[in-house]
Amino acid sequence: MSDQVEHARIEDQGAIHAEVYDLGAQALSLIASGRGLYSLFVRTLYYTFRGKRERGAVAAEAFEIGNRSLFFLCVTMGCIGMIMVYQAGLQTQRIVPDFSLLGPTYLELLVRDFAASIGALMLSTRVGAGIAAEIGSMVVTEQVDALRMSAADPVDYLIVPKFLASLVMTAVLIVIAGTVAFFTGFITAHFFFDVSAQTYFSIQLIDAGDVITGAVKCVAYGAAIPVVSGYCGLSTHGGSEGVGWATTRAVVNCSLTIIIMNFFISGAGLMIFKN
Amino acid sequence: MAQERSLEVKVGALILVAVLILGGFIVMMGGLSLEKTYPLYVYFDNPGGLQTGAAVKMAGIKIGSVKELGFNTSHVNPKTGKSSLIKARANIEVKYRDIIRKDADFYVTSQGVLGEQFLAIDPGTGATAPLGENAEVDGIGPPRLDLFLAKSYELLDTTLAGIRNNRELLGDIMTNTSGLLKGLNGTVTENRDRINRIVQNFESLSQEALTLTQNARRNYVDNPKMLRTIDNVEHLSSEVRRDATPMLKDAKDMLANLNRISATVGDQKEIDKLRKTLEEVAQLASRANSIAGDAQSIVGHIKKGKGTVGALVMDEEMYDDMQEMVRDLKHNPWKFLWKE
């Protein structure tokens, strides 16, 4: 309410003044969010090595993030894989009707970028939203405050098990979902473009740089999803509506983080493994 | 507790599946092969996009991989005389050792249009010995499309600049060429029959020239008479060569004699005598000429059958009568003494 009063007071001083005020306020808010996110990440890393975890907490989170997301991710990546190969095949057919590199190029794309990025984006919609909703509802029902009163850091108790589980299960899910996407792509290539298995299943274009870039992305996305969505959950305010907004912000911020990280990791990968 | 364990088993199973997939993928990518290999060293001026780990293929079958690529300027290609820049170490499976011969070709090619490049081997013929371990050979680099395009671009650029700078001149040339072609076409159309005749004449001329050449060859080249003539000339020249020395010696002697004669006759008195003698000889010759003319006229009379001798020589009847008379006198010698 005080912000609204302050904003009304500023508006009285002129439109341009109000615009500058909004810009400055948003910039400060963004910087504060960045600092909070960084602080949460550092604390998560600290408690990962020094914290005390409840027995079975990581396994339960791993089951929740991994096993329960497996079907969703496989179906999504399988469908996207079929569409990708079909479209690539159509474009190839227009230029050179030679499908000998359809499988190898698609596999290179999957390993280097596609499986990790699309898989993580899909995972963030399910896992990120779930984490933000769970922690946000705990915040609005003051369970997090109760944890703090009990001398239990909510980062150690809530975020770290999810962080560890996500770190492992994101990589696991991406490997499995990528494999599914490659196989569904083969089905499309075989039935629509008569590509044989011997031609399609070729790793001739894959090199160590592709695998390392893909692996780094798996780890980075696996770490980013619980941290970003946990931060959105912990910064929830305003009751059940606030929980809804926290969930939305978690999905948006996770997606944005994944896209930005993809840009930087791919750029670094290209610079390091350009040969 | 059992439920928690079940949860962990499910999570563990999922992780295991992912690890197996990832492990299998990495093993496949590393080209894990239990076959024993032996090294071959191939030198290139420019191996193009050939990379470490690229496949080595023979007749489309993978038989090894490129393990090392590095600079090496110590090797000189005996065919080009230039030092090669890149040395590649290829590890080939031992079971293919006897197939790859010393006259084998090593070249860099690619899988399809966009595929990665690999080292291909044409194994060579069985006439040569197998290429052993650690052999060093010269490879054939991939076609330099980049160089070709760069040079083509330069040529195209120069051509375009030339056209652009000489637009008016080229226009004039085109106009003049067009007029020339039109004029030529008109001339050819008007003189079609004449040109046809010229062509026919030229054809017959060439035919005759051919015949002439064949005859000349037959008569003067392949002819044995000609060969004999050449032999004779050769023989003559050899005779001349042989007799030249004595002839020269004789000529020298003769010249010496002439010198002596001229020295003897060199006096004015002797010269006057000779002149006088020559004049007398000339007179004698003129007389002989007149005598010969008289003799000639006498012979002409005889030939014409004039006079007794002419009748006797030229008249056949008289000759026959004389012959008859002589024969009769032979058979009847008494007729010398007695006339019937």
**Do B46 and B120 belong together in one domain?**
yes
Residue A171 has pLDDT above 90, yes or no: yes
Q: Into how many domains does chain B fold?
A: 4
pLDDT digits (tens, 9 = 90+) for A13-25: 777 777 888 888 8
Q: A142-148 — which CB contacts under 8 Å span 24+ positions?
A: A144/A234
Q: Is residue A14 part of a domain?
A: no
- CB pair distance less than 8 Å for B14 and A203: no
Strands (E), A148-229: none
- Contacts with B55 from chain A: Cβ below 8 Å: 204
| Contact between residue B130 and residue B153 where contact means Cβ atoms under 8 Å apart | no
Query: pLDDT value at position A275?
Result: 57
User: Rounded to whole angstroms, how far apart are CA atoms A224 and A211?
Assistant: 20
pLDDT score for B3:
62
The answer to whether position B295 is within a domain reads no
- 3-state helix/strand/coil string of chain B: CHHHHHHHHHHHHHHHHHHHHHHHHHHHHCCCCCCCEEEEEEEECCCCCCCCCCEEEECCEEEEEEEEEEECCCCECCCCCCECCEEEEEEEEHHHCCCCECCCEEEEEECCCCCCEEEEEECCCCCCCECCCCCEEECECCCCHHHHHHHHHHHHHHHHHHHHHCHHHHHHHHHHHHHHHHHHHHHHHHCHHHHHHHHHHHHHHHHHHHHHHHHHHHHHHCCHHHHHHHHHHHHHHHHHHHHHHHHHHHHHHHHHHHHHHHHHHCCHHHHHHHHHHHHHHHHHHHHHHHHHHHHHHHHHHHHHCCHHHHHHHHCHHHHHHHHHHHHHHHHCHHHHCCCC
pLDDT digits (tens, 9 = 90+) for A91-138: 988 887 778 888 888 999 999 999 999 999 999 999 999 999 999 999
- DSSP single-letter state for residue A275: -
pLDDT classification of A77: cutoffs 50, 70, 90? very high
| B111 and A CB contact within 8 Å | yes
A212 contact B CB<8A:
no
Alpha carbons A131 and A149: distance in angstroms, whole number: 22
**Mean pLDDT of all residues in A207-230:** 93
pLDDT tens string B123-134: 888 788 888 888
- State whether B104 and B59 are in the same domain: yes
Domain range for A187: 55-272
**Does B199 reside within a domain?**
no
Residues spanned by the domain of B155: 148-190
Q: Is residue B113 within 8 angstroms of chain A, CB to CB?
A: yes
Q: Residue A41 domain-assigned? A: no
pLDDT of residue A2: 58
Asked if residue A128 lies in contact with residue A229, where contact means CB atoms within 8 angstroms, the answer is: yes
Q: Is A170 domain-assigned?
A: yes
Whether A100 is in a domain gets the answer yes
How many contacts, defined by CB atoms under 8 Å, are there between A and B? 67
Residue B277, domain member (yes or no) = no
Q: Which of B7, B111, B115 sits opposite A60 (nearest CB)?
A: B7
- Nearest CB among B7, B15, B29 relative to A211 is that of B29
**Same domain, residue pair B114 and B53:** yes
Boundary of a domain, candidates B112, B143, B174 = B143
Whether residue B185 sits in one domain with residue B100: no
Q: Do residue B249 and residue B232 come from a single domain?
A: yes
Domain co-membership, B17 together with B80: no
Identify whether B98 is part of a domain: yes
Question: What's the total number of domains in chain A?
Answer: 1
pLDDT on residue B35: 75
Same domain, B125 and B45: yes
Give domain status of residue B291, yes or no.
no
Cα of A41 to nearest chain B Cα, Å: 25
Least confident of A148-162, A168-182, B263-277: B263-277
Q: Which residues of A touch B116 (CB under 8 A)?
A: 204-205
Task: Tell me whether B17 touches chain A (CB under 8 Å).
Answer: yes
Select the residue from A100, A168, A175 to test the B interface by mutation, using most B Cβ atoms within 10 A.
Answer: A175
For B11, which of A66, A204, A205 is closest by C-beta distance?
A: A66
Contact flag A172-B18 (C-beta cutoff 8 Å): yes
User: If chain B, 340 residues long, is cut into consecutive pieces of 10 residues, what is the mean pLDDT of each piece?
Assistant: 72 88 79 76 85 83 85 79 85 88 87 73 84 86 81 91 90 93 91 91 92 84 76 86 86 88 74 86 88 84 76 76 84 75
- Over 60: is that where the pLDDT of A82 sits? yes
Q: Do B14 and A70 touch (CB under 8 A)?
A: yes
Q: Is the Cβ of B6 closer than 8 Å to some Cβ of chain A? A: no
Q: Do A275 and B51 touch (CB under 8 A)?
A: yes
Same domain, B158 and B138: no
Conformation bin of residue B237: beta by default, left when phi > 0, alpha when psi is -120 to 50: alpha
Please indicate whether, in this complex, the C-beta atoms of A56 and B4 are within 8 angstroms of each other.
yes
B100 located within any domain: yes
Q: Specify if B8 maps to a domain.
A: yes
Residue A228 in any domain: the answer is: yes
A168 contacts on B by Cβ (under 8 Å):
15
Distance from CA of B31 to the nearest CA of A (A): 10
Q: Is residue A21 part of a domain?
A: no
Within-domain flag for B324:
no
Distance from CA of B109 to the nearest CA of A (A): 14
Residue A10 is assigned to a structural domain of this protein: no
**Is residue A39 included in any domain, yes or no?**
no
Mean pLDDT of chain A: 89
Q: Are residues B137 and B158 in the same domain?
A: no
Nearest by Cα to A220 from A258, A271, A176: A258
Considering the domain architecture, whether residues B26 and B43 belong to the same structural domain is answered as no
Nearest by CB to residue B29, choosing from A98, A203, A275, is A203
